[in-house]
């Protein structure tokens, strides 16, 4: 699993039924992240809760994730990624996932139809069996935020999540590490710090040196994510937001 793929999980049981009141997000939420290596900006990614609409005979949230390199980096390696996920508005189970990716001429187009009741995914002409509560690359982020909003996170708490991607199941665990107050351009924000653990054989390991900072307020919003590479750290930091369900908790 690549670093870029994991960035879409960023962040992640029994059957949960959610209502509009206890979700940490709402229609109209839009968050943009600056992707950078040190002072060098490589591009931006935006996560959007577009609307609620009928899709495949279900009331669904229409979610979108868009990523692209800036004009300078596009001269060398142009990236234009788009992810669309329709998720059941009460269970947050994915119903339909669309991936349209162009990365330096490498094109990926995926169209997955989820059947949560039968625990199946239709991809192309094949049907894949999936565990209960399996998410797609985009829905997993919003599902995890909703879980965090209902749970009392303690030291060494672990959230478990299965992601269906590239016609495979990727078991993940999101481990709480600590709370940390970080500086942003809006002020200081108290955050829950998590690390994703990926399964290698039968053991879950911190395979990519990634850390994710989630606001410890009613939004459970990703504020920052960073991943170690051989010669430094790649970071994604919140650069703008609008339409939050609750005011972001900012201290001086």
User: Looking up tokens 């990727």, which residue turns up?
Assistant: 170
Burial class (CB in 10 A: 0-12, 13-18, 19+), 24: buried
CATH number of the structural domain spanning residue 31: 2.40.360
- Return the bridge partners of 14, or none: none
The two three-digit tokens of residue 12, written as one number:
């992640």
In a domain, 89, yes or no: yes
In a domain, 247, yes or no: no
Is residue 99 within 8 A of residue 73, CB to CB? The reply is: no
In a domain, 25, yes or no: yes
Q: Where would I find the beta strands (DSSP E) of 56-209?
A: 58-69, 79-88, 94-103, 106-115, 120-123, 126-129, 158-165, 168-184, 187-200, 203-205
In a domain, 251, yes or no: no
Q: Is 4 helix (H, G, I), strand (E, B) or coil?
A: helix
In a domain, 155, yes or no: yes
In a domain, 128, yes or no: yes
Domain that holds residue 80: 3-242
DSSP state of 135: B
15 Cβ partners below 8 Å, 6+ apart? 91, 132, 133
Q: Which helix (H) or strand (E) holds 233?
A: strand 232-242
In a domain, 252, yes or no: no
Total number of domains constituting the chain: 1
Residues of the chain with pLDDT under 70: 1-20, 73, 198-208
pLDDT in tens, 181-217: 999 999 999 999 999 886 655 444 555 578 999 999 9
In a domain, 250, yes or no: no
The pTM is what? 0.88
Rounded alpha-carbon distances, angstroms, from residue 80 to 63, 143, 172, 252: 17, 25, 26, 37
């Amino acid at each position: 699993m690549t670093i870029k793929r994991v960035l879409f999980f960023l962040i992640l049981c029994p059957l949960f039924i959610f209502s509009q009141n206890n979700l940490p997000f709402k229609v109209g939420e839009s968050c943009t992240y600056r992707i950078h290596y040190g002072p060098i900006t490589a591009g931006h990614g935006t996560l959007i809760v577009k609307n609620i609409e009928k899709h495949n005979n279900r009331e669904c949230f229409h979610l979108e994730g868009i990523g692209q390199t800036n004009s300078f980096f596009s001269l060398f390696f142009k990236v234009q990624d788009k992810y669309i996920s329709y998720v059941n508005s009460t269970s947050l189970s994915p119903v339909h996932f669309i991936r349209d990716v162009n990365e330096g001429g490498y094109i990926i187009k995926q169209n997955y139809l989820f059947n949560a009741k039968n625990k199946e995914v239709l991809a192309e002409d094949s049907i894949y069996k999936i565990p209960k509560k399996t998410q797609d690359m985009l829905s997993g982020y919003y599902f995890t935020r909703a879980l965090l909003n209902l749970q009392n996170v303690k030291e060494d708490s672990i959230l478990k999540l299965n992601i269906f991607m590239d016609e495979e199941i990727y078991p993940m665990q999101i481990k709480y590490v600590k709370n940390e107050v970080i500086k942003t351009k809006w002020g200081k924000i108290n955050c829950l710090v998590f690390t994703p653990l990926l399964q290698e054989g039968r053991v879950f390991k911190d395979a990519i040196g990634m850390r994710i900072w989630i606001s410890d307020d009613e939004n459970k919003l990703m504020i920052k994510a960073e991943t170690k590479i051989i010669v430094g750290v790649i970071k994604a930091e919140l650069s703008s937001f609008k339409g939050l369900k609750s005011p972001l908790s900012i201290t001086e």
